[in-house]
Structure 1
Amino acid sequence: MAKTLLLDSSKRAEWNRFVSEAADASPYHRFEWMEAIETAYGHKAYPLAVEEEGAILAVLPLILMEHPLNNPLKQKYSLVSLPFCDLGGMLGAEQHQQLLRSAAADLAKKMNAQLLEVRHRQQEGLGYDFDRLSEELGGQKVSMLLELEPGSEKQLAAFKPKLRSQIKKAIKNGCITVAGNTPELVEDFYYVFSRNMHALGSPVHSKALFHAICEAYGDKAVVAVVYFEDKVAAGGIVLSNGHQAAIPWASSLAEYNRLAPNMLLYWELLSHCADAGIRFFDFGRSSFGEGTFRFKKQWGAQPYLLTWENWLGQSESLTGPPGRLRSIIENAWRRLPLGLANALGPLVRKHIRL
């Protein structure tokens, strides 16, 4: 008889085996995502699964996050599937998902959680009629997915001539790319990422989180860094699972934009994935029609609607502070010295679910 239970790291291999074969799984569903967050930030992981005779039939990865500035007499928590990425949610047959949903609600009640946030992505893409979609979707959040060709040569040939010329422009300008999974590449990536987050007025993640993720994922993580005259110009991280890959973070420095290092960065990662047999490349979350959406659209990516649900049915916002308050916070953060922002950022960022 199928039963729901919490797993621990002793079941890591079985969990990942199930996730690697699940059609709707993302790289974030892997056990490594929960492990890395727990290692870097101390947020406890709750890997819920449905088992029958020792075989995993369905999973729901959850992370318990404590709200900042808690009153010690009345602590507040959120259960999230999953924080710091676009999606999580349940994998498995519908009858087993009902078991997971019930178990998650019971766990939230036991933990006195104020929020049980589960992030989904629609299984079907929205198509390429962007004029029609712009009227229907407005600024809604979407994932941008590209179905890759079998191999980098075919993938490059599938791009429009203008896109190919932009990739070649970066190479002609003297940009070079190094890809792998080493602590040194993570350090160089963070050099770009932390500066870009400061320029955006956003608290940066802890460097320890990226080291923990890359160490946990092993050969399923690739860090690519673009250099110009031995200086770091751009960097990104791609995670893979089965036939899917996702790029949760990528950044380039504004002073090198004229050289198009971001085009070379994405091509390096796309070509690596195409040659590795990856079928779908997830460019990540964007607001439909905005700048990052247009950048991802040019590669041929199709939008998939994202839905973030609160299973407790309460009215708390899932999208962060209102626009005006957010603007004030961002402007204040930009005025902090970079070193101070990088020191304070992780203390704040670890509590922000987005």
Structure 2
Amino acid sequence: MFQYTASNVESSRDVGRARTMAGPESDLEVTAVDTIRAFDRTRWNEVVDRSQLGTVFHRYEWLEAIERGLEYPARHLVVENRTDLVGLFPNFVVSIPKTPFDRLTSIYPGFGGPLLTDDVPESLSCVSDAIPQLCGHRTIVHEIRASNTNFHRYDDHLVAEGYDSSRVDGRFLLNLASGYDAVFEGMDSSKRRAVRRGRDTDHEIDDVEPSRENLGQFYEAYRTRMESIDGTVYPFAFFDRLRAMDERLLLVSLSVEGEYAGGFLALRNDERGILHGFFAAVPSEYFEYHASELVYDYLFQRAIDEGYEYYDFGGGGADFEDGGFTFKEQFGGRLVPNLYWERGISPAWPLVKRGRSLYWQYGE
């Protein structure tokens, strides 16, 4: 039904273009680009704003920060109807841990999925048909990671295209609609006690401008904290690139007894009414001052003041005995599912998928 021709998007770092024509009577054209800079920023973000499923992670600035700050190769699909841009499907090539293979993912870090504003059934078929052509011999699977559960409307189509939706993961959401007093009373008693004790310490907490200097100070605390827990440390270049969307950033700074004690970088998802607590930076030596509880309590209040409906703690895993799981749950967070679809592109994928399942089951 569809004919696909592509330039060398697998290896080129220049702008690559590929077209999928939906039959002779179709006005749709699907184009693959390997840099977000191939498109006008305003035009791209207008589609995000028009879409019912758009998120802050679909915005031009977030994608550019991933591309230029993390240097993940981009494989974005765009759908045009004559001269109108009617669909976006951002993707990046990311390595699969502990394997020599890569995955094509929408989006990492963050959440993605196709944004289609017109001719939706045909547009969805076009981008689904184009995906395998974006994968080379090392890119063996396409993954869609969606935090917006409204993407479930595409499940039947995706399953029919060979996607598997059996993968399960989740994150914690805190409902802010009832106001701060209700949020505070909804915390576990140990968390309420920790917040009260933290308030009695000699501290200052406020949000600050996400300038390069302030981000640099935050980054040192972030790197120290992530290294202490063997977490992923993103390079400073990524955070520096995020300054292009400074109106979507909430950078919190905490000082204890006159010394900088870390902070938090949250992301304003105005499209969905959510404040995402994405990057924590409170070194462990300040835990005795209940620094983490102070920062989270401040974030909840700021989110409520700015009119957000939810605070998103991020990943919750699947182990209720895990310390991070318990920490988020005790703040009153509710575990909600993420949506995942995976579509194998190579015969190697079933073997890698089986190995991943064994690793999750038995660990290292």
2:216 aligns with 187
Aligned equivalents of 2:128, 2:363: Cα separation in 1: 33
Moved more, 76-85 or 315-324: 315-324
Distance 1:264 1:22, change over 3 A: farther
Aligned equivalents of 2:328, 2:52: Cα separation in 1: 23
Matches within 5 A, 1:142-221: 142-149=170-177, 154-160=179-185, 162=189, 163-180=191-208, 181-213=210-242, 215-221=243-249
1:62 aligns with 91
Instruction: Tell me, yes or no, if the aligned pair for 2:106 and 2:145 is still in contact at 8 Å.
Output: yes
Matches within 5 A, 1:253-332: 253-288=283-318, 289=320, 290-312=322-344, 314-315=349-350, 316-317=352-353, 322=359
Instruction: Tell me, yes or no, if the aligned pair for 2:173 and 2:334 is still in contact at 8 Å.
Output: yes
Aligned equivalents of 1:200, 1:319: Cα separation in 2: 22
Larger radius of gyration: 2
Per-residue CA deviations over 1:191-250 (Å, capped at 9, x if unaligned) read: 22211222113452212222222x122211111121112323232111123223312211
Instruction: Tell me, yes or no, if the aligned pair for 2:168 and 2:340 is still in contact at 8 Å.
Output: no
Distance 1:56 1:284, change over 3 A: farther
Aligned equivalents of 2:361, 2:336: Cα separation in 1: 28
Unaligned 5+ runs, structure 1: 125-138, 328-354
Instruction: Tell me, yes or no, if the aligned pair for 1:144 and 1:286 is still in contact at 8 Å.
Output: yes
2:76 aligns with 47
Instruction: Tell me, yes or no, if the aligned pair for 1:121 and 1:304 is still in contact at 8 Å.
Output: no
Unaligned 5+ runs, structure 2: 1-26, 151-166
1:241 aligns with 269
Q: Which amino acid aligns with 1:4?
A: V
Aligned equivalents of 1:230, 1:62: Cα separation in 2: 44
For the aligned residue pairs, the C-alpha RMSD in angstroms reads 3.2
Q: Which amino acid aligns with 2:333?
A: A
Instruction: Tell me, yes or no, if the aligned pair for 1:27 and 1:246 is still in contact at 8 Å.
Output: no
Report percent identity of matched pairs: 21
Q: 1:326: how far off?
A: 6.9
Q: Which has the larger helix fraction? A: 1
Instruction: Tell me, yes or no, if the aligned pair for 2:70 and 2:234 is still in contact at 8 Å.
Output: no
Q: 1:117: how far off?
A: 2.1
Which secondary structure does the structure 1 equivalent of 2:204 belong to? strand
Matches within 5 A, 1:12-91: 12-65=41-94, 77-85=102-110, 87-91=111-115
Select which of 31, 35, 41 maps to 1:5.
31
Q: Which amino acid aligns with 1:255?
A: E
Scaled by the length of structure 2, the TM-score of the pair is 0.72
Q: 1:323: how far off?
A: 6.4
Q: 1:21: how far off?
A: 4.6
Aligned equivalents of 1:320, 1:257: Cα separation in 2: 35
Q: 1:321: how far off?
A: 9.3
Instruction: Tell me, yes or no, if the aligned pair for 2:90 and 2:113 is still in contact at 8 Å.
Output: yes
Highest relative contact order (Cα 8 Å, sep 6+), 1 or 2? 1
1:343 aligns with none
